C-alpha cells in the first residue's frame, strides 16, 4: 500500500489524528496557537464540530458527548484552560465512556498571548495523563493513541502543544479513518454524579489510575510514552516536545530520554536511565515540572540552574550550557548592522476599532480593556487603554473601579470588549454590574467576527463554523433583558457621534452599554469598495500630518511631505477624511 504523506501543521495533524480515531464531536473556542485544529476538523464532513461560546462550555459539550458514548475532543489555548479548569478537575473523577481528548496549546515566548503559563501544571493538578508531541507526525500518532489510553484507563487524556509544534509544517503519514460505534449509554450515578459521597470513592480511583499509568509507562506497556536514544554516557538529557528538537540539534551525541507522555512520569524508567549517565540534565521550556518531580524522588539532576524559566529555548542556549560545540558563524555581525526600526502590529486599514479608539483618546477616558484586536488601541497614537487582563475582565474591572471610587471615576471610565469576547465571559460581568447597581459604561465593539484569531464565527455573527446560517444573538436585546436601562448603538467610523454618545452614557447613573457596530474590514461584509477609496487634493493639503496620526497602514508620508494613499490597501472607511481639518482628502463617489 502506498504511504500517503501530507505536509501538515501540527494543528492540522491533531485534527487528522482525531478524525482517523473516529472522533464524533469536537467543540472549542478559538485561541492562538490552537485555532487551526478545530478549523481543520471542520473540513471533515462526518465529524460534528462547533465553535462553542467559551472553553468551559466547549469542554462540557465534549464531556456530554463522551458520556453518550462518542469519541470527543475539545481544543484551546493555554489561558483557555483556565476558563475550562472547573470541569477539567472533576471530569478526571468521572472518567469517560467514549474517549475524551483535551488539547491545549501553550505559547512559550508569548507570540500571541498575555502570559506564558505551563499547562503541564494542570495535568499534575487534575491527575490526568498528558502527551506532548514534538512534530506533526507525533501530533497525529499521539492523538490516535490518546483515544486508546482514554478508553483503556477510563480517563480524559490531555495533549500539550506549543506554538512551534502547532505552527510548523512537517511531513505526516496519514491513514484511513476508523469506524467508531457509539458505546451504549448506561446510567451510572456512582461514577458520574459527583456529590461528596460518590466523589470520595472516585478520588481513590483517580489516585490508583495515575499510579497504574505511571507504572505502565515505565514498563513499556504504553507505546510512545518514552524512548531512550543511546549516546555518549557523559551527559544524559531528559526532554520532550519541541525542546527535544532543540536538544537533537545542539547535542547530537548525547544520550536522550525522550518523553512522549509528560504526565505522569515513568520514574522507574528514568531512574534506570539516570544510573547509566554521568550527568543528568532536564531540558524543559517554562516550568521545572520534570525536574521538581525527579528531585522529590531523590534522582540527582540539573535543570533550571542551567536554563531559563522564561520564553522559548534555542539550540544555541543548550549548546552553550552543556558543551564546547560551536554555534554557527553568521555572515553578518548583528551589532554592526544599523538597528532596524520596529514594525509593531497595527489596526488594519479600514479597521472599525480605529475610529472608536480615536474617540476614547480624545475623551481621555480610563479604559478597562479586553482580549482581541482592539487591545492594539493601547498602542500609540491612541494609547487608549489602562488595563488588560483576560477574556471578559473589562466589564467586572469597570464595575470595581466604580465601587472603589464611589462612582467618582465612572464619568470617565469605560470597558471595551469585542462581540465574541462579550459572549465568551463578558455577559456574566454585565449581569453582575446590573445586579449590583453599578454605574459603569460598557462598549461592545461588534465587528461581527472573532478577529484576532483569524476570523472565526461566534454566536452573534449568524453563521456557524461551517458558515451555515445560524441564529444570531441580538446584542441590544440581550443587554436590555439583563436589565441594562440604556443601550445605544453607534457606528465607530463616525468618530464624532461615537464620542458624543460615549460622553453622554458615562454620565448616566446606571449601567450603560454602547454597541459600536461595523464589520471587520477583512471580512466580505466589511470590505470597502473601489468607489470609496480616498484621494488627495494637493491644493488643499497643508501637510499638517493629522491624517497620518490615525496610523492607517494605507497612509504614509511621502518624501515631499504629502500623505500617500495606497489604493490597494485603502479600505474606504474614510476615517482620514473625517480627521482632515482642510477637506483635502476626498472620499470616493459613495459617502459612507
Partner 1 sequence: MSDSFNIVLAGVGGQGTLLAGKLFGLVAARLGLDVKVSEVHGMAQRGGSVITYVRIGKRVFSPVIEPGAADFIIAFEELEAMRWAHLLRRGGTLLINTRRTIPMPVALGQAEYPDNIIESILALADGGTSVHAFDAQRLAEEAGSVKAVNFVMTGALSRFIKIDKQIFMDSIQELFSGKKAGLAAMNQHAFELGSAIIEAK
Using CB under 8 A, which residues numbered 56 to 75 contact partner 1?
Answer: none
Taking CB under 8 A as the criterion, the residue among 169, 203, 510, 543 binding partner 1 is: 169
Taking CB under 8 A as the criterion, the residue among 391, 522, 534, 575 binding partner 1 is: 522
CB of 384 to partner 1, least distance (A): 16
**φ and ψ at residue 150, rounded to 5 degrees:** -60, -45
CB closer to partner 1 out of 32 and 38: 32
Q: If binding is defined by CB under 8 A, does position 556 make contact with partner 1?
A: yes
Q: Cβ distance 501 to 444 under 8 Å?
A: no
Q: Name the nearest CA neighbour of 41 among 58, 25, 65.
A: 25
CB closer to partner 1 out of 164 and 209: 164
**Coil, strand or helix at 401:** helix
Taking CB under 8 A as the criterion, the residue among 100, 373, 401, 511 binding partner 1 is: 373
Tell me the C-alpha distance between 53 and 526, whole Å: 23
Q: Which stretch binds partner 1 (CB under 8 A): 166-174, 175-183, 187-195, 584-592?
A: 166-174
Taking CB under 8 A as the criterion, the residue among 125, 454, 483, 567 binding partner 1 is: 454
Alpha carbon separation from 347 to 140, 342, 372, 414, 553 (Å, rounded)? 36, 16, 11, 20, 8
x-or-dash pattern for partner 1, window 309-348, by CB under 8 A? -----xxx----------xxxxxxxx-xxx-xxxxxxxxx
Q: What are residue 102's DSSP bridge partners?
A: 74, 158
Measured torsion, CA atoms of residues 87, 92, 97, 101, in degrees rounded to the nearest 10: 80
Q: In sequence order, what are the residues at sequence separation of 6 or more whose Cβ sits closer than 8 angstroms to the Cβ of residue 509?
A: 407, 439
Count CB neighbours of 43 within 10 A: 13
Q: If binding is defined by CB under 8 A, does position 378 make contact with partner 1?
A: no
Q: Which three cell numbers stand for residue 311?
A: 520564553
CB of 354 to partner 1, least distance (A): 12
CB of 27 to partner 1, least distance (A): 22
CB of 56 to partner 1, least distance (A): 23
Q: If binding is defined by CB under 8 A, does position 190 make contact with partner 1?
A: no
CB of 340 to partner 1, least distance (A): 4
Q: Considering only the C-alpha atoms of the chain, give the largest distance between any 2 of them, rounded to a whole number of Å.
A: 83
Q: Cβ distance 366 to 372 under 8 Å?
A: no
Q: Name the nearest CA neighbour of 122 among 91, 96, 151, 97.
A: 91
Pairing of strands 279-283, 585-586: unpaired
CB of 285 to partner 1, least distance (A): 13
CB closer to partner 1 out of 327 and 525: 327
Alpha carbon separation from 291 to 160, 262, 282, 420 (Å, rounded)? 18, 12, 6, 39
Taking CB under 8 A as the criterion, the residue among 114, 168, 407, 489 binding partner 1 is: 168
Q: Cβ distance 265 to 214 under 8 Å?
A: yes
- Residues forming contacts to partner 1 in the complex (CB under 8 A) are 5, 7, 9, 32-33, 36, 111-112, 135, 164, 167-171, 242, 245-246, 248-249, 314-316, 327-334, 336-338, 340-348, 373, 376, 380-381, 452-454, 522, 545, 548-549, 551, 553, 555-557, 568
Amino acid at each position: 500500500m502506498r504511504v500517503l504523506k501530507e505536509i501538515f501543521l501540527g494543528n492540522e495533524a491533531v485534527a487528522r489524528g482525531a478524525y482517523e480515531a473516529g472522533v464524533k464531536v469536537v467543540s472549542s473556542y478559538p485561541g492562538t496557537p490552537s485555532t487551526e485544529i478545530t478549523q481543520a476538523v471542520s473540513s471533515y464532513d462526518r465529524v460534528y464540530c462547533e465553535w462553542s461560546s467559551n472553553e468551559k462550555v466547549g469542554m462540557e459539550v465534549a464531556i456530554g458527548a463522551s458520556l453518550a458514548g462518542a469519541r470527543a475532543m475539545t481544543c484551546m489555548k493555554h489561558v483557555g484552560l483556565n476558563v475550562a479548569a472547573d470541569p477539567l478537575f472533576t471530569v478526571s473523577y468521572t472518567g469517560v465512556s467514549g474517549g475524551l481528548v483535551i488539547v491545549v496549546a501553550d505559547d512559550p515566548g508569548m507570540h500571541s498571548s498575555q502570559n506564558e503559563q505551563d499547562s503541564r501544571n494542570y495535568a499534575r493538578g487534575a491527575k490526568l495523563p498528558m502527551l506532548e508531541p514534538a512534530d506533526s507526525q507525533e501530533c497525529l500518532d499521539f492523538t490516535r493513541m490518546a483515544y486508546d489510553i482514554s478508553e483503556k484507563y477510563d480517563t480524559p487524556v490531555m495533549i500539550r502543544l506549543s506554538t512551534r509544534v502547532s505552527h510548523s509544517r512537517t511531513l505526516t503519514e496519514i491513514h484511513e479513518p476508523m469506524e467508531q460505534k457509539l458505546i451504549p449509554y448506561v446510567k451510572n450515578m456512582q461514577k458520574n454524579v459527583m456529590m461528596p459521597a460518590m466523589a470520595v470513592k472516585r478520588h481513590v480511583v483517580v489516585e490508583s489510575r495515575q499510579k497504574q499509568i505511571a507504572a505502565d509507562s515505565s514498563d513499556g506497556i504504553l507505546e510512545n510514552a518514552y524512548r531512550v536514544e543511546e549516546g555518549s554516557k557523559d551527559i544524559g538529557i531528559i526532554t520532550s516536545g519541541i525542546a527535544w528538537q532543540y536538544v537533537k540539534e545542539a547535542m547530537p551525541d548525547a544520550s536522550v530520554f525522550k518523553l512522549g507522555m509528560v504526565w505522569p512520569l515513568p520514574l522507574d524508567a528514568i531512574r534506570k536511565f539516570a544510573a547509566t549517565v554521568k550527568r543528568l540534565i532536564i531540558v524543559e521550556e517554562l516550568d521545572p515540572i520534570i525536574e521538581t518531580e525527579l528531585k522529590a524522588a531523590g534522582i540527582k539532576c540539573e535543570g533550571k540552574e542551567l536554563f531559563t524559566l522564561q520564553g522559548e529555548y534555542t539550540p544555541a542556549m543548550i549548546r552553550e550550557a552543556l558543551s564546547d560545540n560551536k554555534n554557527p558563524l553568521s555572515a553578518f555581525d548583528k551589532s554592526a548592522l544599523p538597528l532596524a526600526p520596529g514594525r509593531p502590529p497595527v489596526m488594519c486599514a479600514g479597521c472599525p476599532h480605529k475610529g472608536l479608539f480615536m474617540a476614547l483618546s480624545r475623551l481621555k477616558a480610563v479604559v478597562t480593556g479586553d482580549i482581541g484586536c482592539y487591545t492594539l488601541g493601547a498602542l500609540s497614537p491612541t494609547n487608549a487603554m489602562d488595563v488588560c487582563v483576560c477574556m471578559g475582565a473589562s466589564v467586572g474591572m469597570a464595575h470595581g473601579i466604580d465601587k472603589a471610587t464611589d462612582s467618582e471615576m465612572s464619568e470617565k471610565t469605560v470597558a471595551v470588549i469585542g462581540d465574541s469576547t462579550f459572549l465568551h465571559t463578558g455577559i456574566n460581568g454585565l449581569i453582575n454590574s446590573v445586579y449590583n447597581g453599578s454605574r459603569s459604561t460598557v462598549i461592545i465593539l461588534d465587528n461581527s467576527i472573532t478577529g484576532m484569531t483569524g476570523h472565526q464565527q461566534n454566536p452573534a455573527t449568524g453563521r456557524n463554523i461551517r458558515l451555515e446560517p445560524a441564529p444570531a444573538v441580538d446584542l441590544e436585546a440581550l443587554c436590555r433583558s439583563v436589565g441594562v436601562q440604556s443601550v445605544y448603538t453607534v457606528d465607530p467610523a463616525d468618530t464624532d457621534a461615537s464620542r458624543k454618545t460615549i460622553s453622554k452614557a458615562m454620565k448616566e447613573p446606571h449601567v450603560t452599554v454602547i454597541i459600536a457596530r461595523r464589520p471587520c474590514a477583512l471580512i466580505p461584509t466589511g470590505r470597502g469598495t473601489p468607489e470609496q477609496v480616498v484621494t488627495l487634493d494637493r491644493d488643499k493639503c497643508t501637510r499638517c500630518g493629522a491624517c497620518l496620526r490615525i496610523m492607517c497602514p494605507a497612509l504614509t508620508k511621502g518624501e515631499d511631505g504629502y500623505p500617500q494613499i495606497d489604493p490597494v490597501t485603502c479600505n474606504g472607511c474614510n476615517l482620514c477624511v473625517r480627521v482632515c481639518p482642510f477637506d483635502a482628502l476626498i472620499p470616493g463617489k459613495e459617502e459612507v
